[in-house]
Structure formats: structure tokens, C-alpha cells
Amino acid sequence: MTETNIVTSIATPNIAFIKYWGKRDYTGLNTPNNSSISMTLDETVKTTTSVFFSSKIKKDTIFINGVEDSILAKEVSEKSRYMNAILNKMRSLSKINYHALIVSENNFPSGAGIASSASGAAALVIALNEALSLKMNTKELSIMARQISGSACRSLYGGIVKWHKGSRDDGTDSYAEQIFKKEHWKELIDIIAIVDSGTKKISSSIGHEATVKTSTLYKERPAFAERNIEEIEKAIKNKDIDLLSRIIMKDSNNMHATMLDTWPPIMYLNDSSKEIIYNIHELNDSQKNEKYIAGYTFDAGPNAHIITTEEHRDEVLDSLKGVKGIKKILESHQGAGPRILSKDESLLNESTLTPKKMK
């Protein structure tokens, strides 16, 4: 045997209702200071990743969105180092010692606060597991993915997912699990308003540590998030968009307040983000029964996720029409989680060992 089959997988980002910000460990385990709950998105936004191991490959190499990034180079990104560590860890568990060629592509902006690292890491571990014939279960894969990008552990599942923060130093009890299937509340949708598709100035990995070290407000953040976990589960169980909207907006505001309180301050939201916040509050305040119909939430970036139901979709879209700076609007229902694609859907050319789209 001189090579494995080419394996291609798809995974999607997730949007956290209760956010993860701040870690217990900064050495690569990515264990969080609080638990979190998220909704996995459908394939409107997705990462596709192909993996191939062969004796013809001279070094581990990854292409991300068509750009080569050798994960063995002297100066690599933090994510690349963690990807390399997980690649080595999973390869060591198999009997395959060949170098890997990895090709990964997003169909949405990377590094703009739409969790491209979550879908990317999830797609990678799914593909590695299949290519190396490891037969790891989803819980084990969520722990692997977490070590590349914390929120990636939630993208290993579809529907509504809970990430248990855990307490062990080795991180073995910090994993994700599905708590509601996507069919439970199939009317739930995420309207994503893209106001800036560029890469954010301060990466999430840098922001996590800076906030924990310097924000006085952050001291209350983990306890605040944990208190909301039970309430958010209740809202989802009862399909209560009013309660869900109130909680996710308060949690998002709380997280971004700790970012602003970081020194130097971290400001991911821009003027368009703030206008969306005002508009969603005006929309909710206009309801005759005083019940909220939508809630905004922002990850570490300026792009808004507005959670609502199909019943109120048009009202939300109307509320966004006057917002300056919205470049694109995407809509996503709950997704089913990662999947393996057919060989014909591979991103790489086996004969030239390059991405298919590259000349």
C-alpha cells in the first residue's frame, strides 16, 4: 500500500446562542471557561475538505481557498500549528505513515466572524478519520476538532448542540453533544447580514487571552453564561422565540462588552452592526403582544446573525432594508452536520497533487 483513498468531507459553521469566550488552557487543548450552546447551520455556508495520504507526497501540505500553506514551515499560523498537531496525532493512531495533502475551501468569507475555523476543523477531522480508517466516534472527533478551534467541536453534530466545558486538565470531559435534532424546531432560521467580508484585525485566539487577562468585566462572564444555559435549553424545548431572542441578545452583548473592556479594547462591531442592533430592537418593540420575534447575535466579527422563525422572516428582512453597509444576506436553517462526499466531488487532482481549481 502506497497511498490511501482520497476522502472529501463537508462541514458547516455553527452560531452560538450562548457564547464561548475565554479559555482555561492556551496550550492547544482549547478548554473553555464556560459551556455553550449553538445551532449548526445548513450547507448554505460550508467548508469542503479533501485529504490524501501518499508516498508521492514529500511533506504535509495544505491549500486553503487555493493558497498553499505548508504546515511544516517555520512561521505558521496558530491554527496551522494545531492542525499539524491533530494531523500527527490522528496519523500516529493509524498504521499509515505517509505525508498528507489537504485541500480546503469555504463558500463564505473566512476570518470574518462566521466560524470558518469551526467548519474547517470539523471537516478536517471527519476526513482524516475516514482516510486513516480510525473509526473514532463523534464524541472523540469533537475532542479532536476542539483542539484546532474550540467552537469546531460543536460543528461535529447537526441541530442544537451543547459543548460541556469540562474540568479535567487533559480536556477529556470537554466535548460537544447534540441536545435537539434539527427536526425539533425546523422553523428556526438564521438570517446572516454580511457587513464586512474582510479578515478581522484581531484574531479570536489573540482576543480570548487578552480579554481574560485584562478585562475586569470578564470576571462575571463565565457565571453569566452558565446561568443562561438552562434558560436557553428551556426556550428551545418549548420553541419559545421570545425567550430565545432575549437570551441570545443579552449573551452577545455581554461577550462584546468584555471585549470592549479588554485593554487595548477589542471592537469587532462596526457602525452597520450597531444599526442592525437598533433595528432589531425597534422591530421587537413594535410587536403588539410585546413578544420578541427575533434576536441578533454576533460572534467575534461584525457580521450579524439574526435568529428568528419562518413566520417572521419577511419582517426581519424588511427591518434590514434601510441598514447601510449590508453587502449580502444569507439564510440558513439548522443543518444535519458533517458528511462524506463521493470520490467525484474531490477538490484535488491526484495526478498533479494540486487543487483541481489551480492551473
Residue with cell 504546515: 71
Q: Give the Cα separation of 265 and 121 in Å (integer).
A: 28
Which phi and psi angles does 151 have, rounded to 5°? -70, -10
**3-class secondary structure per residue, 69-99:** EECCCCCCCHHHHHHHHHHHHHHHHCCCCCE
Give the per-residue pLDDT at 70: 55
272-286 mean pLDDT: 98
Give the per-residue pLDDT at 79: 61
Per-residue pLDDT reduced to its tens digit, 208-249: 999 999 999 999 999 999 999 999 999 999 999 999 999 999
* Alpha-carbon distances, residue 240 vs 14, 81, 186, 280, 288 (angstroms): 20, 42, 13, 17, 17
3-state secondary structure (DSSP) of residue 115: coil
**pLDDT for 252 beyond 50:** yes
Q: Give the Cα separation of 315 and 304 in Å (integer).
A: 16
Q: Give the Cα separation of 302 and 272 in Å (integer).
A: 8
Q: How far, rounded to the nearest angstrom, does the alpha carbon of residue 357 sit from its chain's CA centroid?
A: 25
Q: Give the Cα separation of 144 and 44 in Å (integer).
A: 25
pLDDT band at 109 (very low <50, low <70, confident <90, very high): low
Cell of 168: 479535567
Per-residue pLDDT reduced to its tens digit, 125-173: 999 999 999 999 999 999 999 999 999 999 999 999 999 999 999 999 9
Bridge partners (DSSP) listed for residue 15: 39
Amino acid (1-letter code) at residue 353: L
**Helices and strands, counts by H and E, the chain:** 8, 16
Q: Give the Cα separation of 152 and 144 in Å (integer).
A: 9
* Alpha-carbon distances, residue 230 vs 210, 214, 222, 255 (angstroms): 28, 29, 14, 18
Give the per-residue pLDDT at 111: 54
Q: How far, rounded to the nearest angstrom, does the alpha carbon of residue 287 sit from its chain's CA centroid?
A: 32
pLDDT over 70 for what percent of the chain? 94
Q: List domains and CATH numbers for the chain.
A: 7-355 (3.30.230.10)
Cell of 77: 499560523
In the chain, the DSSP E strands lie at 7-11, 14-18, 36-40, 47-54, 61-64, 67-70, 99-106, 160-163, 176-180, 188-194, 295-297, 304-309, 328-333, 339-340, 348-349, 354-355
Per-residue pLDDT reduced to its tens digit, 61-101: 988 888 887 544 444 556 677 788 899 999 999 989 999 99
**pLDDT for 113 beyond 80:** no
3-state secondary structure (DSSP) of residue 39: strand
**pLDDT for 110 beyond 80:** no
**pLDDT for 346 beyond 50:** yes
Q: Whole-model pTM? A: 0.94
> Contact at 8 Å (CB) between 276 and 282?
no
332-359 mean pLDDT: 90
pLDDT band at 108 (very low <50, low <70, confident <90, very high): confident
